[in-house]
Chains A and B, each alone.
Chain A
């Protein structure tokens, strides 16, 4: 498949802060490529370089054959960018914003309406309303419509789902999936690990470094060793007890249970006896499959 982005050795400093260190990756045409990592990992800096808004200190990045430093004029016509902060014109109406973006990119809303109809139809009843007076979910849909209206080959979305509830997040990802039929390549960042599974490929990023790049399924399988899920009635005491247990390597809270790894993957009767002695009741131990977050935690420890 054709490569849309080829980045090698990208670094960026702000004063003494090394925001990005030797970042290399490739994105193929039509892929949904996710950058997953916490605030301050370097996601936004990287996205600003991809969108030609910031120059890298070192390294090369080519997008659709154009260099991000020298070919920015050509590139900007073909990239749609939805920044993390709502950045449409608050004192223009929904409709005016959309028309404005279409005009700036030398097209019309009519010409590419197909592409956005699914998304825009949700907010079309409010097209006369000022953008500044929309609810959070509607702002998000308008911003996505504006980023798409010139039919970009590459769509860059910086944390589109941060602060959004679980139901709306799921809806947003459904919208992205539908865009695949138009062969638009999508780069998206998120702090929510569970969203990784919705990407074709995922890069885990932390402190300006890429920890791993792979298909989400393979990333999970990269987890080394055996993982056990332990449940009990007393959650807080269970975590503390497991931390003190000499055979424990890691113990992290995961939903209603604790995910634990043991030295030499050994999980036998002794652990049950140990927890019983600590007065912990209703203990249930199962071997479990590692998720993306388990793998991320494992990789974080190694850095």
Chain B
């Protein structure tokens, strides 16, 4: 980790009508950092994630991602980030190799570079036997690894992972996290959301959102000390949700 910010958010507000989904968020994420973005369902994580990845525009506040402002240059942000969500971003009726090449093309990589990196990637993943198989024929764990590799195929500065490990077996889940570590080691920032609280412990720093605000942000170690908790799960249970939700609000 370098201490050079690749994401800077100052006073980010996002409203939908009267509803404030993001209420003055401010934080920085650094180069090569694994940043865990946690919160209860409905806390506002997805809204923030969509703004950070250039898919939605903030109502007010400043958001700079990979050097570009979210309000002015969302298209440039999209080119400089990778994105993977739980529902696969791969085309089921294309082969493994075709998927990789398609994504390389979308990100404007040259033909030679795509060709070379495709072969490198297939070899690195030990995927040569699957290279011409349809994605629909691949086991879930392999699909997930491939989706992640495709998301960083164009060597973005940041990769956003939205619940990347939902439903996979415990061994695959760990292999997936080792890919995350390796990616961060190469200097790519990893911004990840998860409902597995043990995975939150693998992050360099985590933030916890509740009702549109960031209520905690620090290293897992510090947060556990601060809230006198044995695990991040205990911290989460203590602060992720107000003890008595006000009447009339969705549960």
| Residue in A37, A239, A256 whose CB lies within 8 Å of B169 | A37
Q: Give chain B interface residues in 144-191, CB to chain A under 8 Å.
A: 163, 166-172, 174, 177-178, 181-182, 184-185
Tell me the minimal C-beta distance from B129 to chain A in angstroms.
17
With an 8 A cutoff between CB atoms, is A135 at the interface? Answer: yes
| Residue in A126, A253, A293 whose CB lies within 8 Å of B202 | A253
With an 8 A cutoff between CB atoms, is B18 at the interface? Answer: no
With an 8 A cutoff between CB atoms, is A71 at the interface? Answer: no
A166-B237 contact in complex given A235-B202, A297-B171, A300-B171, C-beta closer than 8 Å: yes
Question: Measured between alpha carbons, how far is A41 from B169 in the docked complex, in Å?
Answer: 9
B140 A39 Cβ-Cβ under 8 A = yes
In the complex, residue of chain A having the shortest beta-carbon distance to the beta carbon of B172: A38
Tell me the minimal C-beta distance from A162 to chain B in angstroms.
7
Residues in chain B near residue A293, CB distance under 8 A: 170
A255 B201 Cβ-Cβ under 8 A = yes
| Stretch of B22-30, B102-110, B115-123, B243-251 lying at the A interface | B243-251
In the complex, residue of chain B having the shortest beta-carbon distance to the beta carbon of A161: B195
- Residue tally, chain B, CB below 8 Å to A: 42
Q: Give chain B interface residues in 4-23, CB to chain A under 8 Å.
A: none
| Stretch of A4-12, A136-144, A214-222 lying at the B interface | A136-144
| Residue in A41, A163, A166 whose CB lies within 8 Å of B166 | A163
A166 B197 Cβ-Cβ under 8 A = yes
Q: Give chain B interface residues in 198-251, CB to chain A under 8 Å.
A: 198, 201-202, 220-221, 231-233, 236-237, 240-241, 247-248, 250-251
| Residue in A125, A168, A254 whose CB lies within 8 Å of B248 | A125
B167 A164 Cβ-Cβ under 8 A = no
Question: Measured between alpha carbons, how far is A192 from B248 in the docked complex, in Å?
Answer: 31
With an 8 A cutoff between CB atoms, is B139 at the interface? Answer: yes
| Residue in B167, B202, B241 whose CB lies within 8 Å of A162 | B167
A166 B251 Cβ-Cβ under 8 A = no
B170 A165 Cβ-Cβ under 8 A = no
In the complex, residue of chain A having the shortest beta-carbon distance to the beta carbon of B168: A38
With an 8 A cutoff between CB atoms, is B94 at the interface? Answer: no
With an 8 A cutoff between CB atoms, is A1 at the interface? Answer: no
B247 A125 Cβ-Cβ under 8 A = yes
Residues in chain B near residue A41, CB distance under 8 A: 169
Question: Measured between alpha carbons, how far is A235 from B41 in the docked complex, in Å?
Answer: 29
| Residue in A40, A169, A236, A300 whose CB lies within 8 Å of B181 | A236
With an 8 A cutoff between CB atoms, is B74 at the interface? Answer: no
Residues in chain A near residue B168, CB distance under 8 A: 38-39, 191
With an 8 A cutoff between CB atoms, is B40 at the interface? Answer: yes
Residues in chain B near residue A37, CB distance under 8 A: 169
A206-B169 contact in complex given A235-B181, A253-B174, C-beta closer than 8 Å: yes
Q: Give chain B interface residues in 51-110, CB to chain A under 8 Å.
A: 86
B250 A137 Cβ-Cβ under 8 A = yes
| Residue in B139, B166, B182, B185 whose CB lies within 8 Å of A191 | B166
Residues in chain A near residue B221, CB distance under 8 A: 256
Q: Give chain A interface residues in 240-273, CB to chain B under 8 Å.
A: 252-256
Residues in chain A near residue B248, CB distance under 8 A: 125
A167-B166 contact in complex given A137-B250, A235-B202, A252-B174, C-beta closer than 8 Å: no
A167-B169 contact in complex given A235-B181, A256-B201, A256-B221, C-beta closer than 8 Å: no
With an 8 A cutoff between CB atoms, is A122 at the interface? Answer: yes
Quick one: which of B39, B177, B182, B185 has the most chain A CB within 10 A? B177
Residues in chain A near residue B166, CB distance under 8 A: 162-163, 191
Tell me the minimal C-beta distance from A243 to chain B in angstroms.
10
A255-B40 contact in complex given A163-B163, A166-B240, C-beta closer than 8 Å: no
With an 8 A cutoff between CB atoms, is A296 at the interface? Answer: yes
A165 B41 Cβ-Cβ under 8 A = yes
A239 B178 Cβ-Cβ under 8 A = yes
In the complex, residue of chain B having the shortest beta-carbon distance to the beta carbon of A293: B170
B140 A40 Cβ-Cβ under 8 A = yes
Residues in chain B near residue A54, CB distance under 8 A: none
Question: Measured between alpha carbons, how far is A192 from B171 in the docked complex, in Å?
Answer: 13
A-B pairs with the 10 shortest C-beta distances? A38-B169, A39-B167, A236-B181, A255-B201, A256-B201, A165-B40, A255-B198, A135-B250, A167-B241, A191-B167
What are 16 A-B pairs at a CB distance below 8 A? Answer: A39-B167, A41-B169, A136-B41, A162-B166, A163-B163, A163-B195, A164-B195, A165-B39, A167-B236, A167-B240, A168-B41, A239-B178, A254-B198, A255-B198, A255-B231, A256-B220
**Which residues on B are within 8 Å of A, measured CB to CB?**
39-42, 86, 139-141, 163, 166-172, 174, 177-178, 181-182, 184-185, 195-198, 201-202, 220-221, 231-233, 236-237, 240-241, 247-248, 250-251
Given contacts A38-B168, A168-B41, could you give 5 more A-B pairs where the C-beta distance is less than 8 Å?
A: A122-B251, A137-B250, A162-B166, A169-B195, A293-B170
